Amino acid sequence: MNLENYFPVLLFLLVGIGVGVAPQVLGRIIAPHRPDAAKLSPYECGFEAFEDARMKFDVRYYLVAILFILFDLETAFFFPWGVSMRDLGWPAFVTMMVFIAEFVVGFWYIWKKGALDWE
């Protein structure tokens, strides 16, 4: 086993570490460091944190986040499908229509349950 074969791996690690560490070191050296009360205070959505960190959040907040992720992932499947549609043919079209139908049924269900209503 020849150690010359591992040189690219070592070089890759060194460049990776350099890319991760160099901007932080340069920022620490070059950037002005003038802390004041506003910069050192904890930032919590634009106002001072005044309640317990373990306070309860409305479930709808998490529901909207999960729904956003689901529909975002759905749209991520559309681009590669659209690009390769001619090569894939009718079976891919039918499969995607079933996929879309499942999401439409799910969207209709959450709409009827009132998950998207904000009072």
Domains in the chain: boundaries: 3-112
CATH architecture of the domain 3-112 equals Up-down Bundle (1.20)
User: Could you please report the per-residue DSSP string of 61-118?
Assistant: HHHHHHHHHHHHHHHHHHHHHHHTHHHH-HHHHHHHHHHHHHHHHHHHHHHHTTTT--
In this structure, of 41-45, 46-50, 80-84, 85-89, the range with the lowest mean pLDDT score is 46-50
Is the pLDDT reported for residue 13 higher than 90?
yes
- pLDDT tens for 59-99 read 777 777 888 888 888 788 888 888 888 888 899 899 889 98
